[in-house]
Amino acid sequence: MTQNYSTKDCFDGRQAECEWMVQTQLKSRDITNEAVINSMLTVPRHRYVKQDKQAFAYYDSALEIEAGQTISQPYIVALMAQALDLKASDKVLEIGTGSGYSAAILSRIALRIYTIERHSILAQLAKERFNIQGYDNIEVRVGDGTLGWSEKAPYDAILVTAGGPEIPDSLIRQLAPEGRLVIPVGNKEDQHLLRIKKTLNQELLEEDLGSVRFVPLIGTKGWS
């Protein structure tokens, strides 16, 4: 049975560091969504990084995790969560579970999170973290995230946490009317963070949220 830990237990006495992170790296910039801010104050980032990186967990920097991947800097995690414009009733698909930190943030805002990871070791570690912290509205799957998760579609929001050469049509198809898709698109070194909104008439509205740098999106609809 999943054990629900209190915020104090999860933070191991490091709440002040998390509050400092939110104040200096998020609120001082353009993160204004209260649900996102509250979630960033609730999820202990140091529990999602390797032991030798925990001292740097609340700095605004990406950190190396297992399988040669990275956990994004807190600002980018908050920016992408804010861009999804989530409601409490939303069902969300995340492509690229990584450490699980982003899915944990989304799970404190939306109703249900489905997250796909191609590295089985990362998927297993994320599951363990969610279980320890009592985050029971997240479902993890190992597979090709570029193909989405059609069995659970449609989704009110889709978040892609790796940079692809284009927007996968498979994800567009799984996006519900009035849904939002946030994805980095570009080359393997640099991308632009795009927000795609699907209208009730199935039209796609695209917005450029700025330059970013993510690990490559590997898969059938991404990089080989």
Quick: pLDDT tens for 62-90: 999 999 999 999 999 999 999 999 999 99
- Note the pLDDT of residue 151: 98
Q: Evaluate if residue 199 carries a pLDDT over 90.
A: yes
Per-residue pLDDT tens digits for 36-66: 999 999 999 999 999 999 999 999 999 999 9
| Confidence band, pLDDT 50/70/90 cuts, at residue 2 | very low
Sequential DSSP letters for 92-122: EEEE--TTSHHHHHHHTTSSEEEEEES-HHH
| Confidence band, pLDDT 50/70/90 cuts, at residue 9 | low
Per-residue pLDDT tens digits for 135-151: 999 999 999 999 999 99
Contacts of residue 42, Cβ cutoff 8 Å, sequence gap at least 6: 7, 108
- Note the pLDDT of residue 12: 85
Would you call 72 a catalytic residue per the annotation? yes
Stretch 95-116: mean pLDDT:
98
Contacts of residue 28, Cβ cutoff 8 Å, sequence gap at least 6: none
From the candidates 28, 61, 72, 150, which is the catalytic residue? 72
Instruction: Give the global pTM.
Output: 0.94
- Note the pLDDT of residue 10: 80
- Identify the CATH class of 11-212: alpha beta
Stretch 12-33: mean pLDDT:
96
> For the purposes of burial, counting CB atoms within 10 Å of the CB of 96, is it exposed (0-12), middle (13-18) or buried (19 or more)?
buried
